[in-house]
Amino acid sequence: MKKINLTILVLLIQMVFVSSVQARCNLELFRFGSSAEEIKTQLNLAEGGMLPIMGGESKNVVFVPGEEVCKDEKYFEGAPIIFVFLYDKLVEIQTTRLSEKPTLIHWAESIYGEKEKKPKSYYQEKPNAQWLWDSFNATIAYSIAPDVNDVVESIIIQSRRHQLVFEKFAKEEELLQGGAQ
């Protein structure tokens, strides 16, 4: 009987631990393929919460303060979240942060798993490194580079299901560039 009670207690503790880990702000919860209007509704932002959409007919970029997107995450303070739409479909999420020491990496590893065997350059006084994670829906790129006395971290989360959209946009851009010369 004591063994069963102990097993139940261990399972309850694991459930609490797993749910607290999952409580982190997972940017992939913004569904790739969503429109800008759907993202605005999902964020429950007032008119002033989202900076104007920039871009053209095929590409739009929406900037939202990190504090608005991930309210309980200190990692996103002062780091804008950038939603990239191609043909009114969310295809990429980006964020960049300038800080004294690496911080976004802690968030990324809490979501995508700790990156073992980081490049030696990551541990230098002025770190300069990059690597990838793959998830079912996305490829996640992390980079860190020195900037005077600080570091610049960048995370790009790119949809894996929208490769044809990226290719279509690249071809359009190539034609526009070729026509401009």
Summarised one tens digit per residue, pLDDT across range 48-67 is 555 556 666 788 888 899 98
Query: For 88-103, what is the mean pLDDT?
Result: 94
**Is 157 within 8 Å of 138 (Cβ atoms)?**
yes
Going by C-alpha positions, the residue among 87, 80, 71 that lies closest to residue 23 is 71
Alpha-carbon distance of 48 to 52, in angstroms, equals: 9
DSSP state of 137: S
For residue 150, give Cα distances in angstroms to 60, 103, 165. 30, 11, 36
Give the lowest-confidence range in 31-40, 45-54, 87-96: 45-54
Is the pLDDT score of 134 beyond 90?
yes
Query: For 132-161, what is the mean pLDDT?
Result: 95
Alpha-carbon distance of 4 to 58, in angstroms, equals: 59
Is the pLDDT score of 122 beyond 80?
yes
Going by C-alpha positions, the residue among 78, 101, 90 that lies closest to residue 29 is 90
**Sheet strands side by side (includes 129-134):** 54-55, 59-64, 81-86, 89-99, 150-159, 138-147, 129-134
> Coil, helix or strand for 145?
strand
Where does the pLDDT of residue 22 fall: very low under 50, low under 70, confident under 90, or very high at 90 and above? very low
- Of these ranges, 13-17, 67-71, 112-116, 155-159, the one predicted with the greatest mean pLDDT is 155-159
Note the pTM of the prediction, 2 decimals. Answer: 0.80
Q: What is the pLDDT of residue 40?
A: 85
Q: What is the pLDDT of residue 19?
A: 35
Q: What is the pLDDT of residue 52?
A: 55
Q: What is the pLDDT of residue 144?
A: 96
